[in-house]
Amino acid sequence: MNKREGEGCPRKNADTGQDRDASTNPSSPVIAAFKVFQQELDTKHDKYERLVKISRDVTIESKRTIFLLHRVTSVPDPEDVLNEADVKLDGVRQKIGQIAEELRGEDIHQFHRAFTPGIQEYVEAISFLHYIRHRSLISLEEINARLVFMRAEKVAEALPLGAQVLTFHVTPSDYLLGVADLTGELMRMCISSVGNGDIDTPFQLSQFLRQIHDGFSYIGNTGPYEVSKKLHTLRQSLGKVEDACYTLRVRGSEIPKHMLADVFSSRTTLIDPEEGVV
């Protein structure tokens, strides 16, 4: 019994060794197929990482533009600040052009999570600039109309005319999330305006934020999950602006103008905790 088992083991080990040699044969079609899969996955991961880095640059430059725009309430000539913000946003759009180049011929949904933070921040910055200039909300079509790029000259010369143009389309969900973040910047602009003695801007912002809140309320649970999460923050921003308007209307004559900003920043907004996410 033991002898037969001992005789069978070498033969079995030999067969296993032959199978292993066949499986590790570089000319095996299975190995060749998996090498192709490896190259495709490596290419996809490298592209994903490049998009993450570009999106991070877009986020940083967009935040710097937002910080710059908050100076319009304290400078004698706001147009200089707005022109400087235009220059910064042109640089941001060049970064988005790099994203469009990376996504040429690709399924955008496979890489959407890599660049969506930067696009949302860009939407927030450009919508903030548009509101300061026009006192209105920029549309998704207006944003996408500015995201048309020409490819590099050396590359464009070897391509037909239609392929020389690159376009990037902001998705509706990124647009909504960027507008939701805009409400926080408008609330800060309201407090800064009051601190500088401007008592008209808070009432304009209050009416504008109510319109945005009504629009998001119509979406409700039918929109993306992230939108419903940010609705609570939007309500908080609206509540703080309305609280500032209430204080200006009722107690504005009692509080010195240079103390209004401190009063508003120290007050806490009373919002029903059950009115979180609808």
pLDDT tens-digit series, residues 26-35? 778 888 888 8
- Do residues 85 and 181 both lie within one domain? no
- Do residues 177 and 147 both lie within one domain? no
Q: And the tokens for 95?
A: 């970064």
| CA dist., res. 75 & res. 199, Å (int) | 16
| CA dist., res. 35 & res. 212, Å (int) | 52
200 — pLDDT class (breaks 50, 70, 90): confident
- Do residues 49 and 99 both lie within one domain? yes
Residue 249 placed within a domain: yes
| pLDDT over threshold 90, residue 64 | yes
- Do residues 176 and 238 both lie within one domain? yes
- Do residues 54 and 135 both lie within one domain? yes
Annotated binding-site residue? 153:
no
Most confident segment among 2-11, 58-67, 186-195, 209-218: 58-67
Confidence (pLDDT) at 59: 97
Q: Which of 106, 138, 169 is the last residue of a domain?
A: 169
Q: Which of 107, 142, 169 is the last residue of a domain?
A: 169
CATH at 89: 1.20.58.190
131 vs 4 pLDDT, higher one: 131
| pLDDT over threshold 50, residue 268 | no
Annotated binding-site residue? 185:
yes
CATH at 223: 1.20.58.200
Residue 17 placed within a domain: no
| pLDDT over threshold 90, residue 51 | yes
Q: How far does Cα 74 stand from its chain's mean position? A: 28
Q: Alpha helix (H) ranges present in 170-277?
A: 172-195, 201-219, 225-251, 257-266
Confidence (pLDDT) at 211: 94
Residue pLDDT, tens place only, 99-122: 999 999 899 999 999 999 999 999
170 vs 29 pLDDT, higher one: 170
Residue 83 placed within a domain: yes
- Do residues 89 and 182 both lie within one domain? no
Residue pLDDT, tens place only, 12-24: 555 555 555 545 6
Q: What is the mean pLDDT of the chain?
A: 82
In 20-168, beta strands by DSSP E: 148-150, 165-167
| pLDDT over threshold 60, residue 162 | no
Q: Which of 139, 169, 199 is the last residue of a domain?
A: 169
- Do residues 184 and 259 both lie within one domain? yes
- Do residues 65 and 147 both lie within one domain? yes
Range of the domain at 261: 171-267
- Do residues 130 and 232 both lie within one domain? no
Confidence (pLDDT) at 246: 84
How many structural domains does the chain have? 2
Residue 192 placed within a domain: yes
Q: How much is the pTM?
A: 0.80
